[in-house]
Copies of this chain bind each other. A is one copy, B any other.
Amino acid sequence: MPSASKREQIVTTALQLFYQNGITATGIDLIISEAAVSKKTLYNHFHSKDELVLAVLRKRDEYFRNNLMRETEKQADTPKAKLIALFDVMDAWFHEKTFCGCMFINASGELFDSKSPSRSVCAEHKHLICDYVSELAKEAGAKEPKKLAKQLNILIEGAIVFAHVAGDKEAAQDAKEMGKVFINMALE
């Protein structure tokens, strides 16, 4: 059985390189070099680069959402406060030195076959985050939890784009102020 730790090394390294330099622009040779792994080992774990990309995106989804949930719940107690805290978690992310936008937005901008497994992971990622926000909205007693969740997610995506493309890292605070409006509307 191939070693799970080698697989981890490859995925972790590829994740970083894909995120910082793009998927197409990152070659296999660079990945194995940075991961200190032979080419055969990589192809022993993944049949192709596409398969590696898929594994990396799944890993990123897992990491990102777990981190989002953990940080959000660390910062606030009540469900309503958690909904607001979402934007502060975004704010902190935008200000990280390694911030390169949302990996799934970036990947969707590179992978143009919208029916490919990798693109499906991107779409699913967005839906799963929406689901999480929807749960919080439900706990907070929102009238239409799914509607509020979608509204807050539109704000979050908008802030991510503003921060990455326009370079306006304060967008999270603007989105937060906007989010409060809809939270209050849904809870009154």
Contact = CB atoms under 8 A, between A and B. Distances in A.
Interface of A: 20-22, 24-25, 100-101, 104-112, 114, 122-123, 126-127, 130, 150-151, 153-162, 164-167, 171, 174-175, 178, 181-182, 185
Given A108-B109, A157-B162, 7 more contacts: A25-B110, A123-B166, A154-B162, A154-B171, A156-B158, A158-B159, A178-B178
18 contacts: A22-B24, A22-B109, A24-B24, A25-B112, A100-B112, A101-B108, A105-B161, A108-B165, A109-B109, A109-B110, A114-B167, A122-B165, A126-B165, A130-B166, A154-B175, A155-B155, A156-B158, A157-B161
A20 B162 contact: no
A157 B153 CA distance: 11
A161 B101 CA distance: 12
A129 B107 CA distance: 24
Contacts of A109: 22, 101, 105-110
A154 B159 contact: yes
A158 B159 CA distance: 7
A139 B162 CA distance: 24
A143 to B, nearest CB: 15
